[in-house]
Amino acid sequence: MDESGYAHGCQVTQVPSAPCVSDTDGVSSLTSVPPRQRRRLALMLTPLAGVLLVAGLLPALGAPGLVWKLVGVLVTALAVLLVGVAVGLRRTAAADDRARLEAELDAAIIATAGPCGGDCDSCGPQDCAVKALPRL
């Protein structure tokens, strides 16, 4: 715990039964992994999932015996799980890229808007670029 009363992202309260809610609750830890590495991992998982899918479907559909069918179904389920992980990794990487691009666009808009930030009342009418535009 530091001077401000925070311990591991949770504020310590006087009520011992109060739940500890961190600012990072609900945030995926995948954001700490760069999108390029997530895409690379998804690219590596996809062929593995394809091979496992074929290896699982062959005994599940064609092999005699209950044990082989069960093994085939389990391997097929593992392949489907790996496909889901790969798709999730690709989607989170794309979402992080979109968020980064949007943040860059927001920064460019703020830099272009000038000292007022687009709000004429905050800096006064003499500084605002919007007030300088010709009126029709």
Q: Is 29 a domain residue? A: no
How many structural domains is the chain composed of?
A: 1
Q: Is 109 a domain residue? A: yes
Residue 84 confidence (pLDDT): 95
Q: What are phi and psi of 7, to 5 degrees?
A: -125, 110
Q: What are phi and psi of 95, to 5 degrees?
A: -65, -40
SS3 48: helix
Residue with tokens 């391997």: 75
- Would the pTM count as exceeding 0.85? no
CA dihedral 47, 50, 51, 57 (to 10 degrees): 180
Q: Is 94 a domain residue? A: yes
pLDDT digits (tens, 9 = 90+) for 25-36: 455 677 788 889
Q: Is 87 a domain residue? A: yes
The residue count for the chain: 136
Task: Give the residue with greater pLDDT, 111 vs 67.
Answer: 67
49 pLDDT band, cuts 50/70/90, is very high
pLDDT digits (tens, 9 = 90+) for 78-125: 999 999 999 999 999 999 999 999 989 888 877 777 655 555 555 555
